[in-house]
Amino acid sequence: MNIYNNKKTLFFKLKRNSLKEWQQYTRHKFVISLGEGTLQLSCFKDYLLQDYIFLQKFIKILSLSAYQAKTLEDRNRSVDFIIGIKHELSLHASYCKKFNIPKSKLLKTKEKKQNKSYTDYVLSVGVKKSNLELFVALSPCIIGYGEIGHNLSKLKNWKKSKYASWIKMYSSKEYQKIANENIKYLDKLFTKNKKSSYKSLVKIFKKASKLEANFWEMCI
């Protein structure tokens, strides 16, 4: 079974109630052209630079999640994600080297408005809301990249794309496992937080998905 279409999961239900925003994000022209290999190299380089900044902030957000966690299991989950992002940052460095982006430029790049809007929103959810709501806000990124990688790997000629290494990373067994674990973790958090408003979760998911789409648009 496709883990992203399991109708019993909270993730699927959130997608179903945010279909417009989800499709605008996961089927954005940036994603389609990346899979086809037609994305302008300058756009991909801009994405790498901004995503590097985003991942640095992502670590801060997950550190907040670890601090707010009420159980050792939840705290360890956030720590595991931080370790995973450190690995992703090392892969980013290798991509930058492959596409001739010097480390000096990586470190000096200024954060764009759309990037800041996204991280500021997720941080505000983390500060004001529960761990469940924070992970709902993070799920379009953590799980969404897995779904995008999975979908792009089904394209006939994806291996011929100049961005095949990116698709390979997010469609890999390792990343698909991370996405699946997060889908299950969302269900677990939802079960433990029965007082949470489902409508509020949908609102957060929609907003985060829209901000993800804006991130792609920023790089076009």
- With a CB cutoff of 8 Å and minimum separation 6, the contacts of 131 are 65, 68, 69, 70, 74, 189
- The pTM for the full model equals 0.95
> Which pLDDT tens digit goes with each residue over 103-160?
899 889 999 999 999 999 999 999 999 889 999 999 999 999 999 999 999 999 999 9
In whole angstroms, what is the distance from residue 69 CA to residue 64 CA?
Answer: 9
CA within 13 Å, CB half, 168: 10
| Structure tokens given for 66 | 């670890």
Comparing 19-28, 184-193, 211-220, the range with the smallest average pLDDT is: 184-193
**Structural domains of the chain in order of their starting residue, each with its CATH number:** 3-219 (1.20.910.10)
> Which pLDDT tens digit goes with each residue over 1-55?
699 999 999 999 999 999 999 999 999 999 999 999 999 999 999 999 999 999 9
